[in-house]
C-alpha cells in the first residue's frame, strides 16, 4: 500500500464499552508501533511489535489495553471498558527494524 | 520530567521570516534524533534524522543541528510559508531501545500573512 492506514478515522463510544482500532502497516514492514496522543500533549508510546510478537508492551497504561498482530501485517488495539481519559488520537506507525517510522493518520477516539 | 524538552511551546511568525526551534534531551545512550512535522489531524512526518556523528542536516528550507555533547538540537526554518504552520516534534531514540521513540511535546508554529 501507499502508506500506513488506520480505521476508523473517528470513533465515539460510551463509557464502559469496548473498542477496536485497526492499523494496516506498509507492506513488508516488520516493525509496528502504537502511540497515543492526548489533546495538547506529546505522543506516548504504547506497544511495539516485531513480526507478530510484542517484545515491548511497557507503554500500555492498564490491563484494559491490549493489542495483537497477525500475519506480520494488520494490528488491532483493543480498549476494554473505555473511560473518558482514554479519549485521544491513537497513532500507528510501521518501519523496517531500526529504520524510519511512517505514521498513519490516526484514529480519534472520544469516550462520552 | 520529560526526557525530551522543546521550546518555545508555541510561536507565531510572519510569512517569509525565519525561526529556530529548540530541543534538549536527556535520553541516554543516544542513537539518533529526528524532527517530525505534524499537521493538524494528521500523523507525524519525518523531516530529518541525525546520528551521533552528524552536526547539521538540511531538507529544503529545514536545517537541523545537533550537539551531542550538550544534548541539544535545533530546527531552523528559513523563508517560512503558510504551509509550515504545524506542530514540530523532536524525537530521540535510545541506543538498544528497539527503535522506540521518545517524543517531545512539540512546538506549535503558526505562520501568518
B40-99 tens-digit pLDDT: 878 899 999 888 889 999 999 999 999 999 999 999 999 999 999 999 999 998 877 666
Whether the predicted pLDDT of A98 surpasses 70 = no
Whether the predicted pLDDT of A112 surpasses 80 = yes
Count, residues in chain A: 112
Query: Which strand ranges, in their side-by-side order, compose the sheet holding B72-77?
Result: B4-7, B19-25, B72-77, B62-67, B56-59
Q: Please indicate whether residue A84 or residue A42 has the higher confidence score (pLDDT).
A: A84
Contact flag A43-B44 (C-beta cutoff 8 Å) = yes
Tell me the pLDDT tens digit for each residue of A45-83: 899 898 888 878 888 999 999 999 988 899 999 999 999
pLDDT computed for residue B65 by the predictor: 96
Cβ–Cβ < 8 Å for A101, A32? no
CB pairs below 8 Å between A and B: how many?
Answer: 54
Cβ–Cβ < 8 Å for A94, A33? yes
Cβ–Cβ < 8 Å for A37, A91? yes
d(CA B55, CA B19): 19
Residues of chain A in Cβ contact (below 8 Å) with chain B:
4, 31, 33, 35, 41-45, 48, 50, 55-56, 91, 93, 95, 97-106
Which percentage of chain A shows pLDDT scores above 70?
96
For residue B12, give how far its alpha carbon lies from the nearest alpha carbon of chain A (Å).
Answer: 17
For residue A104, give how far its alpha carbon lies from the nearest alpha carbon of chain B (Å).
Answer: 5
Q: Is the dihedral of CA A67, B91, B48, A98 positive or negative?
A: negative
Q: Which of B83, B79, B99 is nearest to B91 (CA)?
A: B99
Q: Which residues of B touch A105 (CB under 8 A)?
A: 41-43
d(CA B102, CA B19): 24
Q: Which residues of B touch A98 (CB under 8 A)?
A: 99
Helix, strand, or coil here: A86? helix
DSSP B84: G
Contact flag B42-A105 (C-beta cutoff 8 Å) = yes
pLDDT computed for residue B98 by the predictor: 63
Q: Which of residues 1-60 of B touch A (CB under 8 A)?
A: 2, 4, 34, 41-46, 49
Whether the predicted pLDDT of A1 surpasses 60 = no
Whether the predicted pLDDT of B109 surpasses 90 = yes
Backbone torsion region of residue B98, taken as left when φ is above 0, otherwise alpha when ψ lies between -120 and 50, otherwise beta: left
pLDDT computed for residue B97 by the predictor: 63
pLDDT computed for residue B2 by the predictor: 63
**Which of B96, B99, B104 has the most A C-beta neighbours within 10 Å, making it the best mutation to test the interface with A?**
B99
Q: Which three cell numbers stand for residue B27?
A: 535520553
DSSP A27: T
Amino acid at each position: 500500500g501507499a502508506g500506513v492506514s488506520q480505521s476508523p478515522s473517528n470513533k465515539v463510544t460510551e463509557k464502559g464499552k469496548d473498542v477496536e482500532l485497526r492499523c494496516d502497516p506498509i507492506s513488508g514492514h516488520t516493525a509496528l508501533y502504537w502511540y497515543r496522543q492526548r489533546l495538547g500533549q506529546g505522543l506516548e508510546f504504547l506497544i511495539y511489535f516485531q513480526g507478530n510478537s510484542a517484545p515491548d508492551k511497557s507503554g500500555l497504561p492498564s490491563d484494559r489495553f491490549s493489542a495483537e498482530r497477525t500475519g506480520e501485517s494488520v494490528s488491532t488495539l483493543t480498549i476494554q471498558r473505555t473511560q473518558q481519559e482514554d479519549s485521544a488520537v491513537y497513532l500507528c506507525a510501521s518501519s523496517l527494524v531500526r529504520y524510519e517510522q511512517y505514521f498513519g493518520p490516526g484514529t480519534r477516539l472520544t469516550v462520552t | 520530567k520529560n526526557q525530551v524538552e522543546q521550546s518555545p511551546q508555541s510561536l507565531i511568525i510572519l510569512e517569509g521570516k525565519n525561526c529556530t526551534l529548540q530541543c534538549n534531551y536527556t535520553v541516554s545512550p543516544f542513537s539518533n534524533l529526528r524532527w517530525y512535522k505534524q499537521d493538524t489531524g494528521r500523523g507525524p512526518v519525518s523531516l530529518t534524522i541525525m546520528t551521533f556523528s552528524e552536526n547539521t542536516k538540511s531538507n529544503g528550507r529545514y536545517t537541523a543541528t545537533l550537539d551531542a555533547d550538550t544534548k541539544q538540537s535545533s530546527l531552523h526554518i528559513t523563508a517560512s510559508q503558510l504551509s509550515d504552520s504545524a506542530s514540530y516534534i523532536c524525537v530521540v531514540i535510545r541506543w538498544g531501545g528497539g527503535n522506540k521513540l521518545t517524543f517531545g511535546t512539540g512546538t506549535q508554529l503558526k505562520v501568518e500573512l
